[in-house]
Structure 1
């Protein structure tokens, strides 16, 4: 059975491994270690049988949230863990009183776009050539948080 919980320092190595397997330009281990101390950030992991199956996080600044990353390990995909992560981030945003949440997603990432749309996000803009390896546009999406 999977649980969603706040990410801790003990999770950093597993999250870094997941980061490297999920993104063509992953965050560094040092960046993740610093990020866990970031007072503006909120990170969760999905844990199954003691293993980190996925993680996600957002930053909150001036009443708005920005989803930073969501990743689910290949072996755990298709189990709804991305949805569990998204629900946790949305619940946190409501608790914090955020008015809006934004995120960027690769133009070609259909799975992520479907997750975001399912959760009430909509496209508001495009950032040309935002992503590297390969170079690709980012779709900027937003969610208006209901009180």
Structure 2
């Protein structure tokens, strides 16, 4: 896969028809930390969720992200881009789409957890106005990796 420009990919709502492609990305990207296929299916169908799929010009899903939005609080549930498409701004594009969805739903604070050993993702989130607010020790299993809890408020918007 040639990454090229992030503009060559389109965003659309993720649907249950995307489950196989999304779960394949989930398993490839997160390995032992991956959600089960059943959990991913539940997420795509659950109330208060917004899932976006990033697709190439052939309609193949190359990334996805999900938001839980209840009242004025939101939580980035998950975000992933196929390894071959990383580095071209696709993760940022997905995050911006989720943050826009949060704004449209009246969310004023968005939270997320990120692996402490993932400086690239942490840098992306910080560049989008997220700030570290805590640590969840040994959150990611089975590797015992801490989760950094981050929050973005309306004041944090750039």
Q: Same fold (TM over 0.5)?
A: yes
- 1:67 and 1:77 map into 2 onto residues whose CA distance is 19
Task: Please state whether the residue corresponding to 1:97 is helix, strand or coil.
Answer: coil
Structure 1 unpaired stretches of 5+ = none
Aligned equivalents of 2:147, 2:38: Cα separation in 1: 25
Whether 2:24 is the aligned partner of 1:17: answer: yes
- How does the TM-score come out when normalised to structure 2? 0.89
Whether the 8 Å CA contact 2:71–2:106 is kept in 1: the answer is no
Match of 1:122 among 108, 117, 131: 131
Q: Which of the numbers 51, 61, 65 marks the counterpart of 1:43?
A: 51
CA separation in 1, counterparts of 2:89 and 2:138?
30
**Which among 73, 97, 109 is matched to residue 82 of structure 2?**
73
Aligned length: 147
CA contact (8 A) 1:107 1:139 kept: yes
Higher percent of residues as helix: 2
TM-score, with structure 1 as normaliser: 0.95
1:58 aligned residue: 67
Aligned-residue Cα RMSD (Å) equals: 1.3
The answer to whether structure 1 residue 7 and structure 2 residue 27 are counterparts is no
Alignment gaps of 5+ in structure 2: 1-7
Cα deviation, 1:122-143, whole Å, max 9, x if unaligned, reads 0001111111131111100000
What's the CA shift for 1:113? 0.3
Which has the larger share of strand? 1
> Residue 93 of structure 1 contacts residue 145 of structure 1 at CA under 8 Å; is this kept in 2?
no
Matching residue of 1:139? 148
The separation in 1 between residues aligned to 2:154 and 2:98, in whole angstroms, is: 11
Distance 2:83 2:142 in 1: 20
Runs in 1 of length 4+ with deviation above 4 angstroms? Answer: none
Corresponding residue SS for 2:45: coil
Q: Which residue of 1 aligns with 2:3?
A: none
